[in-house]
Structure 1
Amino acid sequence: MNKALKNPALYVLFILPCLILFAMFFLYPIVSSIRYSLTSWNGVSSDPKFIGFDNFVKALTEKRFWTAVRNNGYFILFSCGIQVPLIVFFSLLIAHVKKLKGLYKTAVFLPSIMSTAVIGILWGFIYEPNIGLLNNILKVFGIEPLYWLSDEKYAMLSILITNAWQWTGFYIVMVLAAIISIPRELDEAAAIDGATAVQRAFSITLPLIKPIISVVIMLSIAGAMKAADIVIVMTKGGPAGSTDVMATYMIKYAITNFKYGYGNSISVLIFVFTLILTALYQLLIARRSERIEY
């Protein structure tokens, strides 16, 4: 048995299936996208025309593309600046609940297991100008109905709120798991010393869960860069392309307009932008969140 374990070929044999799957479903699609991004191709013809970096030049000089990039930026800012603090706040509240904690955890996690199509349709009814719940509430205070999904001023914000509502519960469960794993003796010792609940949260709990908060932020950034389904369901990128993100912009050209070469160049740019953002976050911020042991 020991001789077999010392044989390098045995280790290669074990990891070979994973390497094959990795090459098939990750490396090959990336290489294929890069190849077709350098061509003018309609997705049907068997002879894509090589045009070099023309697709990338067109994308980087296209106003609608930069509108889509800006909207992805809104997703990131909303996730990191508003959603993450709320996740931490509600996680701290639920962690200190004495009764029905399981019910609260299930309630906040439920939206994240629902289909995005269902979420989009549900919130579409909430945002409906005439009979929607939100406008009916505003009517009580004498505010005129707002066209949440068809007005450029409110459409993007409406999508951001819906997306946050869907995924906040998923991240709350992650942060809750980190909070629950903290030894209770630390909190009890601080309470005996006279520390209030707020002081214990800021001085003990938050520093100890900093690594999981870092993970949540990184996942939020990655999720924001690939956001597409909620936009497609709720506004299809409208009105007038004001809610398009890079993924929906790519879909419109690649599928609707049969410009697969240009669509592949957008997918490559999404990959590059995501890689740069996550790498910068890891280098500048995540490394400071050292592993906590207790």
Structure 2
Amino acid sequence: MNKALRSPTIFLLFILPALILFVMFFIYPIFSSIYYSFTSWNGVSAHVKWTGLENYTKALEQKRFWVSVQNNGWFIVFSVFIQVPLIILFSLLIAHVKKLKGLYKTTVFLPSIMSTAVIGILWGFIYEPDIGLLNQILGTFGIKPIYWLSDERYAMLSILITNAWQWTGFYIVMVLAAILSIPGELDEAAAIDGASAFQRAVRITLPLIRPIISVVIMLSIAGAMKAADIVLVMTKGGPAGSTEVMATYMIKYAITNFKYGYGNTIAVLIFIFTVIVTVLYQLLIARRNERIEY
């Protein structure tokens, strides 16, 4: 058996099915999108008109496209600077709970396994101006109803909060697993030496879970760049395009308006921007988080 596995032919036969699927569903779609991004095509007809860089020029000159880029940027900023610190905080709190720890882990994880459509509809009721829970609570303090999803000042923030609520639990479970894998002797020794809970968290726990925090940030950035479903369910990019993100902008042109060539241009730009952000993060931050052994 070992001799057979060393044969290049046998090895190729083992990897060939996975390789074929990888080419069909990853490599081919990428090159197909790149090709059609240089064309004018409605996605149905047999006629495909080559337009060169016209689609890219059009996209980069469109104000709504740059609004969508900015909104993706807000997703990244909110995830990295607000969501991630909350993830770390809740993970530390749950890690030190003595009773019902499993219940807390299950509770925070539940939103991440729910459909985004369900999450969007649920929070749509919470944000409802007249009978929504949020405005009902604010009304007890004498605050007038706020149109959370139809006011340009609040719509994007409302979506960011909803998106964070859905995915925070997923990342908490990841960080919590890293915290619980730290040998208890380290924390006990620090406690004996007189270190407070805050000092132990800052000086011991956080440095040791830095690699997983880096992974969480990376996943948050990737998720922010492909955000679409929560926006479509809650606002469809409105009001007046103020909550449009690159993915919803692409969907509207490629599917709704039958401008398949231009839609592929947006898809390629999303890919390029994602690669740029990812590479910058890896070069500036992630590479400093070396693997920690204990």
TM-score relative to the length of structure 2: 0.99
Alignment of 1:1-294 (within 5 A): 1-294=1-294
Which letter maps to 2:10?
L
- The 2-side partners of 1:280 and 1:138 are apart by 41
1:109 is displaced (CA, Å) by 0.3
Q: Determine the C-alpha separation between the residues in 2 that align with 1:80 and 1:144.
A: 31
Letter in 2 for 1:56: Y
Aligned-residue offset at 1:23? 0.3
Once the two structures are superposed, what CA deviation does each residue of 1:46-84 show, in whole Å capped at 9, x if it has no partner?
A: 121000010011001100000000000000000000000
Distance 2:270 2:2 in 1: 47
Q: Distance in 2 between matches of 1:73 and 1:147?
A: 23
CA distance in 2: counterparts of 1:251 and 1:240, whole angstroms: 16
Identify which range, 238-247 or 13-22, moves more after superposition. 13-22
CA shift for structure 1 position 2: 4.2
C-alpha separation in 2, matches of 1:3 and 1:147: 70
1: CA distance, partners of 2:5 / 2:222: 38
Distance in 2 between residues matched to 1:59 and 1:26, nearest whole Å: 24
Q: How far apart are the structure 2 equivalents of 1:147 and 1:260?
A: 34
After TM superposition, give the deviation of residue 8 of structure 1 in Å.
Answer: 2.0
* Deviation at residue 4 of structure 1 after TM alignment: 2.4
For 1:291 and 1:138, the matched residues in 2 are separated by: 46
- State the 1:3 CA deviation: 3.2
Q: What is the one-letter code of the residue matched to 1:185?
A: E
Which residue identity lines up with residue 230 of structure 2 in the other structure? I
Root-mean-square deviation (Å) = 0.7
The amino acid that maps onto 1:108 is V
CA-CA distance at 1:162 after TM superposition: 0.1
CA distance in 1, matches of 2:6, 2:124: 61
Normalization by structure 1: what TM-score? 0.99
CA–CA separation in structure 1 for the residues paired with 2:251 and 2:275: 20
| C-alpha distance in 1 between matches for 2:6 and 2:101 | 50
Give the Cα–Cα distance (whole angstroms) in 2 for the partners of residues 6 and 174 of structure 1.
Answer: 37
Which secondary structure does the structure 2 equivalent of 1:152 belong to? coil
What is the CA distance between 1:116 and its match in structure 2?
Answer: 0.4
Q: SS of 1:82's equivalent?
A: helix
User: Percentage identity across aligned positions?
Assistant: 81
Q: Distance in 2 between matches of 1:105 and 1:199?
A: 24
Quote the Cα distance in structure 2 between the aligned partners of 1:256 and 1:293: 52
Residue identity matched to 2:80: C
Question: SS state of the match for residue 153, structure 2?
Answer: helix
Amino acid at match of 1:164: A
The amino acid of 1:195's aligned partner reads: A
Alpha-carbon offset, residue 5 of structure 1: 3.4
Q: SS at the partner of 1:283?
A: helix
Change (3 A) 1:9 1:240: same
- Paired letter, 2:36: Y
Q: Which runs of 4+ in 1 moved over 3 A?
A: none
> For 1:168 and 1:2, how far apart are their aligned partners in 2?
45
Q: Secondary structure at the match of 1:148?
A: coil
